[in-house]
Structure 1
């Protein structure tokens, strides 16, 4: 007996085939046989079809989307900070935010070292693009821009879009065409958007490069998601006291992922030892009373060793920080109001500056309001000057109108 034949007999016995008539016959179970492999495969495909049609959205699985988002964020930090895709990083800060409806997103500010800073318009092209790519030479990038980086349509094409406020797009779309990268008068760049007749259909509207959100091709390729890249930080909206904890945020906090990070770290009243840190004193509004005057003293009195040291001037101890500030001449001739506003312009957005000015008018009784207005009007109105359709009179009217909310 040949060994191959003997092996076949042994295999048949092992499989439990005891009837000789069945040895060598292949029996196919039809899809109509309940529980058979073809029936189970058919049911699986039917179930997948139902899931695709009526199944879960990303918002339905915050546990998964939070972990995927964090993984992409960690990789983005690795690309920018360790692999230096934009150049050596001097400092960075990011904040993770959560929408009431929708997925997580992050705002990141990256400051490059001096030798690598983007200090002329000729360098913009290597970092930011704001055009529809060529479909033939870059088909994948073309698809990604359509999928993730097209704004709207809004304005006359869709006045009900969520970005419309007061009949205008809050993000200032559609942007103007520009043959070159230009440094705007307000410090914000005007990106290259050539009128090359390229258009794509988005929600039954033909959109040109005027509707493209600024992006970096490499990062768009890598992460396949909406990732807006600009050479200047965009306006930061006020964080309201009314809080809504979304499912995305709750899962992020449950997993104890970082909500923000900054490098080098900012420390308060801690002597520098090993790490490179940048010190600062917390801001305070005049409406906070003694806390504001304490900060005023800390900024002007050198080497204070205690609260009593700050309360003492010319061998006399005062009972309040306001009295101590007044005795040192820190409250004379609106100087404190001017210094308060001047300092705030270095880190506050126009909306917050207008709110601070309204607080000063209400609680601090400035002697020369016109001087304060003239000195800081440019900062109060900066966001309104960015509207391309606004002239000087429109900017003045919108700035004054915005104070109605605070006064």
Structure 2
């Protein structure tokens, strides 16, 4: 939601704790190591993190920050690190090569004129030798480095705005090298991890800074920083039979003189999934430090039909309290009431109200804000499934019409007050669901925030909805967004593009048949990209999402499933 309102992020920063910070080393007892003092490590890192956030948001070393979001994670060996996402104001957004070069460096500094920075880059920003130099490095996967090191030399920075690539930073072939003692080898600019000279010199730890090059990359970042906690799988056994039991059955023929031994395997007993909590993470939580923080909060706005509210209550709660809750107004009903007496409120859409009004939980009403808003409204998702189609169309009207004071106001189709019987009819009469670009806009919004599996489901359900409206551009929509809908098959399951597309075809066909038995991808005229004699390289053509979406405007045409 923040991205839909404020645009794509500009910077992604990762700060990792340095166990050799003087604040840690100077306070260790005799014969102690940093792993013996998780309380000390957590306190020092927390203080450094707050100082870094102050530099970024208050001192504005890179410009005015429009919003930020960070999460804390812990390495397997225990050290904490923070992932920070920054979105800059319009005047300070990172859009050109000169700005990128001023913020990010990916080359070895001069050893004679920048001796301190040279040593810090050597200690914290050299990617360990991999590939032909070390095929057993941790970053290796299928014979290649997951981080794509060593990078090629570049005389200047190149931005791939709108493409499915990260910016390629300046890495000149200037013959500068750094000798890494741990690996006993020299490295060039091809193995330098991007850094910022000021932050690296001040905090003296690993601070990787990356420029977010495209909206496609942004979706990956937000999934990455919110991937959840670590877990481990334990195998449980008694040491004798490895947790399995052996059952004996009687022989069925005279030839079988001894009982048949059958091995009974109980996978649930043998393997259990547990959450992994290191000593550092445990201490971090004991000290009650934040695991994440953000500049803006999101207020979920209910969407319901008249007399169809959802009320949550405890079965042991008193009946009077439940009755009082039933009599109170929902946020939606209070929105209608607000529009009836507040002229200014009528200029905002329902999901824009939290930016200008606060919700009074005690009195169940909207009140004008007195301070700058850092809250964003988000209507609950409604799927176009059988049984809730009317609610789906009601939400569509609510996202487009301002100033409604009653449910019937959303059904008005003429200035003279003519209303329809249903919300679906109102959408059709207003031409909200007959536009040929509606399908494409819904898919473009899903590209920004949805998992490929949900995009496939959205594609299938939109086919079911639009088939009765004479829509015929299914094949063009499929080819435009196919790469995003098969991304999980290609990158997670390591399938070829052709095999991934086949699996996507099969899954979407199943969804189509569940909703409308006579529909299929073939019946809609959708052809595989490979059927058109196009190679896997055709998937490298990425739709120019950045240039076709105005992120400062909240598009609510699609639906999240």
TM-score range, shorter chain: 0.5 to 0.7
Q: 1:339 to 1:283 in 2, by over 3 A?
A: farther
Distance 2:506 2:34 in 1: 39
Which of the residues 457, 464, 478 maps onto 1:359?
A: 457
2:131 corresponds to which residue?
A: 155
Which of the residues 428, 432, 445 maps onto 1:343?
A: 445
Q: CA deviation at 1:383?
A: 11
SS of the residue corresponding to residue 67 of structure 2 reads strand
Q: 1:126 to 1:329 in 2, by over 3 A?
A: closer
Distance 2:483 2:147 in 1: 20
Which of the residues 287, 304, 314 maps onto 1:255?
A: 287
Q: CA deviation at 1:213?
A: 0.8
2:120–2:200 contact (8 Å) kept in structure 1: yes
TM-score w.r.t. the length of structure 2 is 0.51
Distance 2:84 2:506 in 1: 30
Distance 2:98 2:200 in 1: 22
1:101–1:246 contact (8 Å) kept in structure 2: no
Distance 1:285 1:153 in 2: 50
- Give CA deviations for 1:226-275 in whole Å, capped at 9, x if unaligned: 10112327642454577535233333333232333333555455343122
SS of the residue corresponding to residue 281 of structure 1 reads strand
Structure 1: gaps (5+ residues): 1-46, 387-393
Which of the residues 184, 187, 190 maps onto 1:204?
A: 184
Q: CA deviation at 1:143?
A: 1.5
Instruction: Give the alignment's Cα RMSD to 1 decimal.
Output: 4.2
- Give CA deviations for 1:306-351 in whole Å, capped at 9, x if unaligned: 7898799945468xxx899789876668976544322123x33xxx
Distance 1:166 1:404 in 2: 27
Greater helix content = 1
Q: How does 1:151-190 map to 2 (within 5 A)?
A: 151-184=127-160, 186=163, 188-190=166-168
The structure whose RCO (Cα within 8 Å, separation 6+) is larger is 2
- Structure with higher Rg: it is 1
Aligned residues between the structures: 341
Distance 1:312 1:140 in 2: 70
Q: 1:395 to 1:78 in 2, by over 3 A?
A: farther
- Give CA deviations for 1:343-401 in whole Å, capped at 9, x if unaligned: 123x33xxx45232222356665556423222324656899999xxxxxxx99559648
Distance 1:87 1:158 in 2: 41
Q: How does 1:111-130 map to 2 (within 5 A)?
A: 111-130=87-106
2:512 corresponds to which residue?
A: none
Deviates most, 155-164 or 328-337: 328-337
Distance 2:77 2:436 in 1: 45
TM-score w.r.t. the length of structure 1 is 0.67
Deviates most, 289-298 or 146-155: 289-298
Q: 1:398 to 1:168 in 2, by over 3 A?
A: farther
Structure 2: gaps (5+ residues): 1-28, 231-274, 301-352, 358-368, 414-418, 468-472, 509-561
Q: How does 1:256-405 map to 2 (within 5 A)?
A: 256-268=288-300, 270=354, 271-272=356-357, 273=369, 274-277=371-374, 279-281=376-378, 284=381, 286=383, 290=388, 293=392, 295-303=395-403, 314=419, 316=421, 338-345=440-447, 347-348=448-449, 352-360=450-458, 366=464, 369-377=474-482, 396-397=497-498, 400=501
